[in-house]
Chains A and B, each alone.
Chain A
Amino acid sequence: MNGATATLNITRYLPGQDQIPRSQSYSVPYQRDWVILDALNYIKDHIDGTLSYRWSCRMGVCGSCGMMVNGVPKLTCAVFLRDFYPQEIRIEPLVNFPIIRDLVIDMSDFLDKLKSVKPWIIRKTEKQISEGEYLQTPEELSAYQQFTQCINCMLCYAACPVYGMEPEFLGPAAIALGYRYNQDSRDQGKESRQAVLGSHEGIWQCTFVGECTEVCPKEVDPAAAIQRSKVEITKDWFKSVLLPWGQR
């Protein structure tokens, strides 16, 4: 290390103390191999123990370290200081969410929405254990595999202007997960997800800005899941109107 420093301008908000968020500047030693999260941890350990943020795995798996880095939603454990150095770096909490404190946002709305699409396998009839597993071919797996990669980091919600303007919108990741289970050949719960996915607050509120897919660190492509859900639900609707009972 040669004494070089990197400057981070971080949003601070202490409930009960600050009326509105403010920005605080910190200088940390510049290390080529540091990610933004390393710099935050350095601040917390050596400069200011009151700074609050979420993190856990440090390897792009847990999805808890999402923040706005220079205005773009990022996993802070996956972006390097060197990508910005010597420019100052602006770190803010994910936008479109209420702020609890500093960089910590309230994710309860997202968790409720996630639960509402029933992201688990629903069976009308369960097999007996003695009958063996529910088998699936590689082709059946590939129909939904990419959508299983979601780590619930909520970067896509921060990127979505529709969610910013209409907070009741179900949002990219929840829809992608609903779609993932609908496409799973072992699942039989499509109808029970329909009311939520097919509602006005569901897929139809999406105007296909496409930014969710751009920012997703796991290449889930939620925008594609939403548009394909629109096609699927429309097809099902036509079938239900045109085909007589029993042939659907």
Chain B
Amino acid sequence: MISPRPDKSMLYYPKMPATWWLRKRSYFLFMLRELSSVFIAIFLVVLLVQIYQLSEGPKSYTAFAQRLGSPGWIIFHAIALLFAIYHSITWFFSTAVVLPLRLGKREIPRNLVAALNIGAWIVVSLVILYLFLSLKG
């Protein structure tokens, strides 16, 4: 069956304004999440370079580490950390949507699933921090 089509030449095709993502909080938060990937990608490249420097010997590693200690890089890493935290939190909320958990016949509320994930994440982070500090000390 072919459904009737309107005459295309009579239609008006609206365009999406370039500022569409400023129109709504949820669109804006979505754009932030997308933007966070850029910062995380740059962070990873820096990390790779850092690991490479490690293989080049202690001298070049220390020089590189010193360069990372400059205010510009510290600000960058602070922003990257905030974005990484934001990205991870949105990720845990997404997980709750993607993988519904059931207890018997009832679906476990999504916010609870996300909260459990975030709780586990904090615990794992603290363990890593503890290991790191005790190794350093």
Contact = CB atoms under 8 A, between A and B. Distances in A.
Interface in A40-67: none
Contact of B12 (A99, A108, A209): A99
Interface string A64-80: 00000001000000000
B5 A15 contact: no
Contacts of B13: 98
B3 A111 contact: yes
Interface residues of B, number: 24
Contact of B94 (A18, A164, A165, A208): A208
Given A207-B30, A209-B26, A209-B30, A231 B14 contact: no
B27 interface: yes
A195 interface: no
Contact of A108 (B6, B16, B30, B98): B6
A14 to B, nearest CB: 10
Interface in B76-126: 94, 97-100, 105
B23 A210 contact: no
Q: Which of A13, A95, A100, A209 has the largest count of B CB atoms less than 10 A from its CB? A: A209
Interface stretch (A27-35, A82-90, A220-228, A236-244): A220-228
Contact of B3 (A18, A108, A164, A223): A108
Contacts of A208: 94
Nearest to A112: B3
B10 interface: yes
Contacts of B27: 161, 209, 211
A224 B16 CA distance: 25
A229 to B, nearest CB: 10
Interface string A102-114: 0000101001000
Given A223-B97, A227-B94, A100 B6 contact: yes
Interface in B1-23: 3, 5-6, 8, 10-14, 16, 20-21, 23
Contact of B20 (A139, A161, A228, A231): A161
Contacts of B100: 224, 228
A207 to B, nearest CB: 7
A16 interface: yes
Contacts of A98: 8, 11-14
A164 B11 contact: no
B98 A227 contact: yes
Nearest to B97: A224
Contacts of A1: none
8 contacts: A15-B11, A18-B12, A100-B10, A108-B6, A208-B94, A209-B26, A209-B30, A230-B98
Given A98-B8, A139-B105, A161-B21, 16 more contacts: A15-B11, A15-B12, A20-B12, A98-B11, A99-B11, A100-B10, A164-B16, A164-B20, A165-B16, A209-B26, A210-B30, A211-B27, A214-B26, A227-B97, A227-B98, A228-B100
Interface of A: 13, 15-16, 18, 20-21, 71, 95-96, 98-100, 106, 108, 111, 139, 142, 161, 164-165, 207-211, 214, 221, 223-224, 227-228, 230-231
